[in-house]
Structure 1
Amino acid sequence: MNRISELLGIQYPIIQGGMRWVARAELAAAVGNAGGLGFISAHTHASADALAREIDKVRSLTDKPFGVNLTVLGANAGLDYDGYVRTIVSQGVQVVETAGSNPAKYIAEFKAHGVKVVHKCVTVRHAVKAESLGADVVSINGFECAGHPGEDDIPGLILIPAAAEKLKVPILASGGFADGRGLMAALALGADGINMGTRFMLTQESPVHPAIKQRLLEATERDTVLLGRSIGDPSRVVKNSVSLAALELERSKNVTHSDLYALTGAQRWMDAFATGEVEGGAFPAGIVTGLIHDLPTCAELISRIVKEAAAIAQRQLGFSAALA
């Protein structure tokens, strides 16, 4: 048991990211039952009451720890974030993953009620700030990740050890992880565990439509693109007709956020996740799709990752012994 496992009360330091629309009760419970930590997404739900029902649903499926992702974005200003926070606290949720804008307001509230906070960020400076605000864990997202990787373009191979040099709290490595090789690499780089989004999206318990899953299984490491660079809000999505049209639009002059949103808005890709329209939206996915070739259950996936990691550790220990 390492620092992450002990702190979060789980068997393995393997975390399922709080992906919007995807991170629902069935997925989070399956990850928890398999020994990891699953998250549900608060802003998937239109109200605090709906979130409360989803929390109840998780508890009907598992007695293991789970968490709630609270991603605070200006684009979602109409959502009842204060209501989400009250629900998380009143429902006795043990762990929250904060992301997006400055989490100071919410971290203070969660800490006052004994809720452990994992803050997701994409730079070392933001990780240090989150630690100073009281975050219990920092999840550091490399350039490889799905969704918003920031504007510094720093891959995990550099970002993870750079964060480890500065932080005292445990670190989760996020972006580019799918198997035991990734887990061992993250640990070697100074992280205490891994946070996986795309890999858990491609499991049996994920609610994503089978046609979208099949498209992602066929993808290579070259089949994602970054949209939104021109407006200072890059986002990694799957390469399809919608995302390529958005890239072409960005090459024009004076493109605005609203121009891009017509093509890349969240509602479009969430609808695509539900209907299976592979050309229906610019849906988020990480470069790691190129390493994913099957749709296991969460239990099969976590068991396989642990066995792969153990085999790698055994081989490396043998190599070290030979050198000694």
Structure 2
Amino acid sequence: MMIQTRITELFGIEKPIVQGGLMWIARAELAAAVANAGGIGFMTALTFPDPEDLRAEIRKCRQMTDKPFGVNLTFLPTLTPPDYPAYIRVCIEEGVRFIETAGRNPEAYMDEIKSAGIKVLHKCTSVRHAQKAVKIGCDAIGMDGFEAAGHPGEDDVTSLILLPATRDAIDVPLVASGGFADGRGLAAALALGADAINMGTRFVATKEAPVHDNVKQALVGRTERDTRLIMRSLRNTERVLHNTAADKVIEIEQQPGETRIEDIVPYVAGRVGEEMLKDGNMETGTLAAGQCMGLIRDVPSVEDLLERIMAEAEAVIRKNAESIRD
């Protein structure tokens, strides 16, 4: 069985599986492995402080695969924003065909991106944001359910509701994100109206992910209860692995009075997380992790993982079709 969807057609890929942006992790090694296995991987631009470093990573990825891959651009609320126009120019000059945008509205950059013939997949956490993204010209929508790692929004709506609600509201290709880690999830997402799934946490626990093995093993054998929601008081909710750093942030947030950003920075700052990924000390910083941890049992190669997901999804679809006929 070949599962072909509007997403496989849009990206020119074999399998409806997307590896989205993972800060510090989504580098050439992982994106190329996903591409070679038939999906599509997105390298995270802001992993590279200098846009020229992103250029070098794009070229490195091209040496590792001749299949489609893309670049993630997350527009962050910050006092000193990154040089987004420079990152976009690098993508254009290097012939990147696909960009995944996330965070704030990318409208200010859409004309330049689209005029270069680049297709845009925008990640949302609500139906209203998806409708706006389509209106400004995004070619596809990624919808993050509340189960997702990182920033799942403030509405607390799960994928089970968001996917069909979004499908009813927009007519562009839709990627499901939040709670997906196996073939059953892919089959379910397709049934709910999605054209593909996006996996983040599951790809961290693969052989090709460029992180310390302690990080990968920390995701294996967990349950769906082993994440924590932090920064709720700041209206910037993040779902992370339950560890000492997450507990400390929650403790600070529960203290009387307004939470001070400077008090939690030592635990959530990007560089702290980057060092944790390198040295494997799993208590020093926070690690974005989704509830799909309850479905992670091993650390396979990306190729084996995607083959397993597709085989399981096809088996589920066949079984359900036979049950309906019976």
1:148-191 CA distance string (max 9 Å, x none): 01110000000111100000101000010001000000000010
Cα distance in 1 between the residues matched to 2:154 and 2:235: 7
- Once the 2 structures are TM-superposed, how far is the Cα of residue 264 of structure 1 from its aligned partner? 1.6
Report what 1:314 is aligned to: 318
Report what 1:79 is aligned to: 82
Cα distance in 2 between the residues matched to 1:314 and 1:219: 30
110, 123, 134: which one aligns with 1:131: 134
| Equivalent pairs, count | 322
Q: Equivalent residues in 2 for 1:111-122 (5 A)?
A: 111-122=114-125
Amino acid at match of 1:118: L
Moved over 4 A (4+): none
Q: Is contact 2:239–2:290 with CA below 8 Å preserved after alignment?
A: yes
How many percent identity over aligned positions?
A: 48
- Once the 2 structures are TM-superposed, how far is the Cα of residue 54 of structure 1 from its aligned partner? 0.2
Cα distance in 2 between the residues matched to 1:232 and 1:46: 26
167, 170, 176: which one aligns with 2:170: 167
Q: Is contact 2:267–2:284 with CA below 8 Å preserved after alignment?
A: no
Q: Is contact 1:42–1:84 with CA below 8 Å preserved after alignment?
A: yes
Amino acid at match of 1:255: T
Q: Equivalent residues in 2 for 1:1-324 (5 A)?
A: 1-75=4-78, 77-252=80-255, 253-322=257-326
- Once the 2 structures are TM-superposed, how far is the Cα of residue 254 of structure 1 from its aligned partner? 1.5
Stretches of structure 1 that go unaligned for 5 or more consecutive residues are: none
- Once the 2 structures are TM-superposed, how far is the Cα of residue 219 of structure 1 from its aligned partner? 2.0
TM-score (normalised: structure 1): 0.98
Helix, strand or coil for the counterpart of 2:266?
helix
Cα distance in 1 between the residues matched to 2:259 and 2:208: 39
Cα distance in 1 between the residues matched to 2:222 and 2:213: 14
Helix, strand or coil for the counterpart of 2:211?
coil
Cα distance in 1 between the residues matched to 2:133 and 2:284: 36
- Once the 2 structures are TM-superposed, how far is the Cα of residue 121 of structure 1 from its aligned partner? 0.8
1:28-49 CA distance string (max 9 Å, x none): 0000001000110100001110
- Once the 2 structures are TM-superposed, how far is the Cα of residue 212 of structure 1 from its aligned partner? 1.3
Stretches of structure 2 that go unaligned for 5 or more consecutive residues are: none
Quickly say closer, same or farther: Cα 1:76–1:302, change in 2 above 3 A.
farther
1:92-127 CA distance string (max 9 Å, x none): 001000001110022221111100000001010000
Q: Is contact 1:270–1:283 with CA below 8 Å preserved after alignment?
A: no
Q: Is contact 1:180–1:309 with CA below 8 Å preserved after alignment?
A: yes
Q: Is contact 1:220–1:290 with CA below 8 Å preserved after alignment?
A: yes
1:268-323 CA distance string (max 9 Å, x none): 1111011100101011111111110111111101101110011111101111111x
Cα distance in 2 between the residues matched to 1:99 and 1:77: 18
Amino acid at match of 1:313: I
Amino acid at match of 2:284: G
Helix, strand or coil for the counterpart of 1:10?
coil
- Once the 2 structures are TM-superposed, how far is the Cα of residue 259 of structure 1 from its aligned partner? 1.8
Amino acid at match of 2:130: A
Amino acid at match of 1:89: I
TM-score (normalised: structure 2): 0.97
- Once the 2 structures are TM-superposed, how far is the Cα of residue 78 of structure 1 from its aligned partner? 4.0
Cα distance in 2 between the residues matched to 1:18 and 1:140: 14
- Bigger mean CA offset, 306-315 vs 72-81: 72-81
Cα distance in 2 between the residues matched to 1:94 and 1:305: 26
Cα distance in 1 between the residues matched to 2:47 and 2:12: 25
Q: Is contact 1:144–1:286 with CA below 8 Å preserved after alignment?
A: yes
Helix, strand or coil for the counterpart of 1:118?
strand
Amino acid at match of 1:233: N
Cα distance in 1 between the residues matched to 2:124 and 2:261: 22
Helix, strand or coil for the counterpart of 1:172?
strand
Cα distance in 1 between the residues matched to 2:263 and 2:153: 20
Helix, strand or coil for the counterpart of 1:218?
coil
